Amino acid sequence: MPADLNPIDKAKFVAAKRATEFVETGMKVGLGTGSTAAWMVRCLGERIREEGLRVVGVPTSSRTAELARQVGVPITTLDEAKWLDLTIDGADEFDPNLALIKGGGAALLQEKIVATASDQMIVIADAAKEVAQLGAFPLPVEVIPFGWQTTKALIEETLVSLDVLSRECSLRMNGAKPLMTDESNYIVDLHLKRIGNPRQLALVLNQIPGVVENGLFIDICDIVVIGHGDGRVTVRDINAGSESDDFVEFKPSDNIFADME
C-alpha cells in the first residue's frame, strides 16, 4: 500500500507522477524501462482512465510493453509512430550537464533509439542518481554475442588511453548464462569509477567492432525531474537554464498499486 513505500520508492513515484504532467492529449510518447519508468507508465495509465487522456506509447522493452498493456496505455512501434513528441525514462546516473548513464535494466539500445527519435527527453530519477561526475555506476555496453570476448578485450585495450579511473570489465550474467537483451545481444559492464570525458568515451566505444551501443546518453536529455522522499520534486530544464521545486500530492490510487500486491 502507499503508506508502506520507502523514501526511495516514494521519490521515484513523485518524480514519475510529475513528469506525466508534461504529456498532453494527442502526443506520441516514448515509454522508458526500469523501476522509475514503471511508475510513470502506471501514472500515465491512471491519467488515461481518469482524465480521458488520449496518447499512444512506444515502449523501450518487452517488459515496458507488457506493463503498458496491463494498465491501459495504448502502444505502437517506433516504425509506425516514426517520430515522438516526448520520451520519459529513468537514469542510473546524471551529471550537472544532464549527461546520463543508462542500461542498468539492459534496455539501453532501444532506449537510446527511442529517446533520439523524440522532440524532447525527460529523465525521472530519485535524488541519489545525481552525481558530480559520471562513472560510479558501471557503464553498460551492448555487444553482439559473436566474438564477445574479443570485443571485451578491445574495450579494455581502448580504455588504457582514456580518462577513466578503472578499466575492469565484466559480462553481465543471468544466473549461469549471459544476460540476453531484447535484441539478443550481451551486456559488458565497465566498472570505470570515474569518467573524465563522457563524450569522448561514448564516441570511441562505438568505433569498436562488436559494440552495438553504449549507455552514455550525451546531449539527449532536456529535462530532469528529481524526486525526494518527502514528496518534493525538482524540475531542471537545461535548455531554459531553469530550476523549480514543488510538491506532488501523494495519494496514488489503488489501481496503480494493484499489480504490486
The tens digit of pLDDT for each residue in 167-182 reads 999 999 999 999 999 9
Which positions are annotated as active-site residues?
111
The predicted pLDDT at position 4 comes to 75
- Do residues 153 and 161 lie in contact, with contact meaning Cβ atoms separated by under 8 Å? no
Confidence label for 5 from pLDDT (cuts 50, 70 and 90): confident
Question: 23: helix, coil or strand?
Answer: coil
Q: Please tell me what DSSP assigns to residue 183.
A: T
Mean pLDDT of 63-85: 98
Domain boundaries, the chain: 2-131+219-260, 139-214
Mean pLDDT, the chain, rounded, equals 95
pLDDT surpassing 70 at residue 165? yes
Residue 91 known to bind ligand: yes
C-alpha cell at 163: 580518462
The predicted pLDDT at position 1 comes to 33
- Do residues 210 and 135 lie in contact, with contact meaning Cβ atoms separated by under 8 Å? no
Residue 36 known to bind ligand: yes
C-alpha cell at 64: 515496458
Residue 105 known to bind ligand: yes
Summarised one tens digit per residue, pLDDT across range 101-115 is 999 999 999 999 999
Residue 89 known to bind ligand: yes
pLDDT surpassing 60 at residue 3? no
The predicted pLDDT at position 261 comes to 40
C-alpha cell at 243: 530550476
Which pTM does this prediction carry? 0.94
Confidence label for 249 from pLDDT (cuts 50, 70 and 90): confident
Residue 92 known to bind ligand: yes
2-131+219-260 CATH fold: Rossmann fold (3.40.50)
The predicted pLDDT at position 127 comes to 96
Give me the percent of the chain exceeding a pLDDT of 70: 94
Which CATH superfamily includes the segment(s) 139-214? ACT domain (3.30.70.260)
Mean pLDDT of 70-76: 98
Q: How far apart are CA 151 and CA 224, in angstroms?
A: 33
> In the 3-class helix/strand/coil scheme, how is 24-78 assigned residue by residue?
CCCCEEEECCCHHHHHHHHHHHHHHHHHCCCCEEEECCHHHHHHHHHHCCCECCH
